[in-house]
Amino acid sequence: MHSVKYIILLTLLCLVSDSFSDTTEPFARFEYKLSFKGPYLTQKDGSIPFWEYGGHAIAGDSYIRLTPSMSGKQGHAWTKKLADFANFRLDIATRVSGVGRHGGDGLGIWFVDEKPDYNLPSVRVFGGASNWTGLAVLLDTYDNDGKNDNPKIGGFVSSNKALAWSHDTDGLDQDIGHCLRNYRNRPFPVRLRLQYLNKRLTLHVNNGVASEDSESDYELCFEKDNVELPGKGYFGVTASTGGVSDDMDVYSFVVHSLSVKGAADQSEAAIKASEEERKKYEQEYEEYSKKLRDQIDAIAKSHREAVEGQTGSGGDAGKPGDSAVEDEAARQYRQIWEEQSKIRASIHDVASAVANARHDLATSITEVTHSVDAVKRELADVKTAANAAAAGSNSKASGGSADAYAVKELRDILTRLADKVDHLTSRHSELSERVGRSVQLNQQNSGSQGDQASSTCATTYGLYCAILLQTAAFVCLGMFYLKRQDAAKKFY
């Protein structure tokens, strides 16, 4: 009796242990060299790290457009690295969109032992090879056989390139499983989760209605046991258009290698690889941290005085990581600001000096103009006095008193003319000195040539005024002596 109970209990324990082993989640390791995901998908040269793409594919910042919405186009993207693990999980986000009611041809997701040779003029399956060894998951958009069973997602497995996929029948009776899903023109990218674990292949599909990736939104498309795939292979995604076309974009392609607890060889290899990468990353982190600390020490040492002035004590100021240490960018911004402030102040000083010089110049020119007008009036008085002296000499025989009066009046006028000339000369000297100082200040600050032109103009104007006054004085004297000679001749 006890032995029977023992056997029943042992059987139950075995069943429970088997059920737990079947439901145990596998260990997933992210394979970054086999994946891509936006944003910042491409580098500066347009390439995608660890991937190669071609045909009519265009790589953007957030996604790869395998084909544009044009007829007869094909594009592809393949991993450069060979995947050498037996089990994997693949998560893909894609969007197929077009303006017409019908689109085509379709998009393919691949895991094959070798990449297609695109230099060969062979018929291809949605941008992939016509014959392959491995797995192809095809999103067939166009209904070639007219059975109204598209858009359709199907899985196809080929061994030793034996499968010849039929375009005319949309691969009917050639797939290991399929489902009808309207993945075209969805509000958000459609997500597919493909898992191959212990020779079981499953595909779940998210219909792209919500932007968030929720586990509850995935629906089973197909599931197949005893699927034989190559132990090593390349991942890829391709697309092509025919008479009708769509924009076919891939937003993310994320690969995880899977290892099951209990499989010692797989788990140990994965753990060993993870440990090696962890050590590598830790070493790179330590090297980068040391380099960063050295740079902080160098900056603190070169700015020791500034740091001590900010902190008020030289004890702890300059320790690496101290907030008082001015970084390189802040120092450059501060220097640029100081130089801009100096330039702004210099420009303000020059502008003020030029404005003052222009005001003084305008005032002096006005005074000189008034003085010239006064000289002209004095010259007119000289001419009038000379004519009066000549007329007086004809009416009076003696002429002594008239000539004496005329000479006295002319001498007074000439004295006033001399005073005006002296005043103009002094104003000219003062004006030249002021303009010279302004020009010198302007040359020291900005090197401008506009004020030099003003100085030259003012100096030339003053010179012309002086020459005019001297000429007028000589003309007046000449006229006076000629009048006196004529009067003397008439008297005698």
Q: What is the mean predicted confidence (pLDDT) over 152-163?
A: 88
227 and 364 together in one domain: no
Of 140, 126, 225, the C-alpha closest to 176 is 225
Let me know the angle formed at the C-alpha of 52 by 51 and 57, rounded to the nearest 5 degrees: 120
CB 92 within 8 A of CB 108: no
Phi then psi for 420, rounded to 5 degrees? -65, -40
User: Which residue type sits at 365?
Assistant: I
Show the tokens assigned to 49: 């790290």
Let me know if residue 14 belongs to a domain.
no
Give me the percent of the chain exceeding a pLDDT of 90: 33
Is pLDDT above 50 for 179? yes
Provide the CB-side half-sphere exposure for 156 (13 A, CA).
31
d(CA 355, CA 277): 72
Which of 266, 289, 307 represents a domain boundary (last residue)? 266
Q: What is the pLDDT of residue 12?
A: 53
Is pLDDT above 60 for 449? no
63 and 176 together in one domain: yes
37 and 125 together in one domain: yes
- 416-431 pLDDT, tens digit per residue, is 777 776 777 777 677 6
Q: What is the pLDDT of residue 451?
A: 45
Angle separating helix axes 450-491 and 328-395, nearest 10 degrees: 10
Is pLDDT above 70 for 245? yes
User: Which residue type sits at 371?
Assistant: S
Q: What is the mean predicted confidence (pLDDT) over 269-282?
A: 71
Q: What is the pLDDT of residue 399?
A: 46
CB 450 within 8 A of CB 361: no
Q: Residue 140 to residues 103, 107, 166, 221: CA-CA distances in angstroms? A: 10, 7, 12, 14
**Total domains in the fold of the chain:** 2
d(CA 492, CA 488): 6
Q: What is the CATH number of the domain that holds 105?
A: 2.60.120.200
Q: What is the pLDDT of residue 253?
A: 96
Let me know if residue 208 belongs to a domain.
yes
Q: What is the pLDDT of residue 460?
A: 54
Confidence of residue 315 (pLDDT cuts 50, 70, 90): very low
Let me know if residue 144 belongs to a domain.
yes
78 and 199 together in one domain: yes
Q: What is the mean pLDDT of the chain?
A: 77
384 and 259 together in one domain: no
Let me know if residue 231 belongs to a domain.
yes
Let me know if residue 134 belongs to a domain.
yes
Which range of residues forms the domain containing residue 246? 24-266
Which of 266, 301, 332 represents a domain boundary (last residue)? 266
Q: What is the pLDDT of residue 137?
A: 96
Confidence of residue 30 (pLDDT cuts 50, 70, 90): very high
d(CA 379, CA 478): 12
- 353-406 pLDDT, tens digit per residue, is 778 777 777 777 777 777 767 777 777 776 676 666 656 555 544 444 555 666
| Residue tagged 């062979």 (tokens) | 122
- 96-148 pLDDT, tens digit per residue, is 999 888 888 899 999 999 999 888 776 689 999 888 999 999 999 988 888 88
Which of 247, 266, 285 represents a domain boundary (last residue)? 266
pTM for this predicted structure: 0.53
Is pLDDT above 80 for 17? no
> DSSP secondary structure string, 450-475?
HHHHHHHHHHHHHHHHHHHHHHHHHH
- Quick one: which H or E segment has residue 299? helix 264-302
Let me know if residue 406 belongs to a domain.
yes
Let me know if residue 227 belongs to a domain.
yes
Of 260, 265, 266, 268, the C-alpha closest to 22 is 260
Let me know if residue 39 belongs to a domain.
yes
